[in-house]
Chains A and B, each alone.
Chain A
């Protein structure tokens, strides 16, 4: 009897050992937060995992390695290791600063569970992508209706492009820079990979504030640079200082001053609208060729000056509108012509009746 009992216990022991030895164990990653698995310096990622096992054992969360416990670097957080019994779920915290120490890049995270001689693991990837450092050396300098912004080349080789933020007031955050006036576009302006940008089409004697940021290839944007400012101003070269002002000759003669507001409006129309197209440039050339003698005559005759001023007033105002709101004058003209055509047609229709 005793022998039979001994055999029975022995058989049970073998069965039990075999049962433990062949116990099923599996590890599964349930979720990663943030979902794209990308964090920056100073941030953490959470990994949710589940271990299914018949018995109890221990788990370890490691960075790198080959899936065997201890082959990688166990994460620093207290939830990076522990024990489990049966099916267990848990969350482990990956710290960019403490666990991802080789700089930007992809890190394979192993959740390894061991029960007896059985072991299993699951992996996920956490990407460390730190934003570029702040752009330095930002300097805004004044031009005529424009500012020139320059900055130092960023040392990070992954920089994809720079953004230039601008506004007519000082600011702190990106959202404070709400400039829309520059011909290059609304703030922020993509400066590509160069380290200088001209913002044109600005208003003279208005101060513009700028900051610059760098964006790397993964889309991470650096903090905004220090702020710089400049005030565009009317600028002349030697020719204009000498009196060859490329005059709106007739307008200057009529208004008596090159710096008269209305003359400036007409100059703006010339520089920003007419000189931008071939027909416009042809018109400007023809005007400069033909107008000086007429301007000289107008300048000597007060009645002629008054008449020309009266005639130029709407033109100068329209010039300002066209410069400030491109297309507005053309649109107004088309609308007026359309209305006139409709009126004429209606009148003819009534006369026909």
Chain B
């Protein structure tokens, strides 16, 4: 939870700092250039689908950080690359008694993927933009027992689908928006909420570490 707060604080600082800095810049350019891509960062809580995960790591969700970069293909259809990282810590289970012991485990996951996203943007400066997307994923994972050399690691592949709502910040502060565009080429700045459903079990292969999850996140997106 603490890490989530830090991540959100960083987002706020990044967002606020960018706008404040832009506002102080005198060279304001109002004419928007053609859009060609996006960059976004989001952080939130990832809830795994498997109960076994909760048994070891609890049910409060893994704090997960994600970065996305998109390239506009046709209109508001984008080719989007995703990369992320998250980890959880929890106590292991005695398989005989099905109860926790005091061996601490740490699970790291680092998925990356490529897919398409479509943003339902119908007019210039549309204040709220819904979007959906999907991607193929490969995720590296590693579980380690702390204070020990014990480790398991592997790669899973799967897919994810997501959707969200973006809120345009430019309407709130037009001067800053203009400054960001003239200086950095950032046409639009959004904050967004995203829900993501992920299946990461090699498409239902047996006896595999299932990393399927649901991810709720908040983020900041720049449209170039």
Contacts and interface: CB of A to CB of B under 8 A. Distances in A.
B107 A143 contact: no
A59 to B, nearest CB: 64
B210 A241 contact: no
Contacts of B195: none
Contacts of B206: 243
B52 A235 contact: no
B92 A236 contact: yes
Q: Is the interface of B mostly helix, strand, loop or mixed?
A: mixed
B33 interface: no
A148 B145 CA distance: 14
A144 B104 CA distance: 10
Contacts of B141: 239
**Most B CB atoms within 10 A — which of A144, A237, A271, A276?**
A237
B52 A198 contact: no
A176 interface: no
Interface string A210-250: 00000000000000000000000111111111111010000
A276 B145 CA distance: 15
Contacts of A238: 50, 52-53, 55-57, 105, 107, 143, 209
Interface in B8-45: none
Contact of B92 (A148, A237, A271, A276): A237
B14 to A, nearest CB: 33
A235 B101 contact: yes
B150 interface: yes
Nearest to B207: A243
Contact of B93 (A143, A236, A259): A236
A142 interface: yes
B56 A234 contact: no
Contacts of A242: 50, 52, 207-210
**Most A CB atoms within 10 A — which of B52, B53, B101?**
B101
A236 B98 CA distance: 10
Interface string B104-115: 010100000000
Contacts of B96: 233-234
Interface string B187-218: 00000000000000000001111100000000
Given A144-B103, A238-B56, A244 B152 contact: yes
A346 interface: no
Contact of B56 (A233, A237, A246): A237
Interface in B136-161: 141, 143, 145, 147, 149-150, 152, 154
Interface residues of A, number: 23
B94 interface: yes
A141 interface: yes
Nearest to A243: B207
A275 interface: yes
Contacts of A241: 52, 55-56, 93, 95
B163 to A, nearest CB: 28
Given A238-B52, A238-B53, A148 B102 contact: yes
A254 to B, nearest CB: 17
Contacts of B97: 233
Contacts of B152: 237, 239-240, 244, 246
Contacts of B149: 271, 275-276
A237 B145 contact: yes
A276 B149 CA distance: 8
A238 B152 CA distance: 10
B206 to A, nearest CB: 7
Contacts of A144: 92, 101, 103, 145
B94 to A, nearest CB: 4
Contacts of A271: 149-150
A271 B92 CA distance: 17
A234 B95 CA distance: 7
B102 A244 contact: no
Nearest to A140: B102
A141 B102 CA distance: 6
Top-8 shortest CB links A-B: A243-B207, A237-B105, A141-B102, A235-B92, A239-B152, A241-B52, A235-B103, A239-B143
Given A234-B94, A275-B149, 14 more contacts: A143-B102, A144-B92, A234-B95, A237-B56, A237-B103, A237-B143, A238-B52, A238-B55, A238-B56, A238-B105, A240-B152, A242-B50, A243-B208, A244-B208
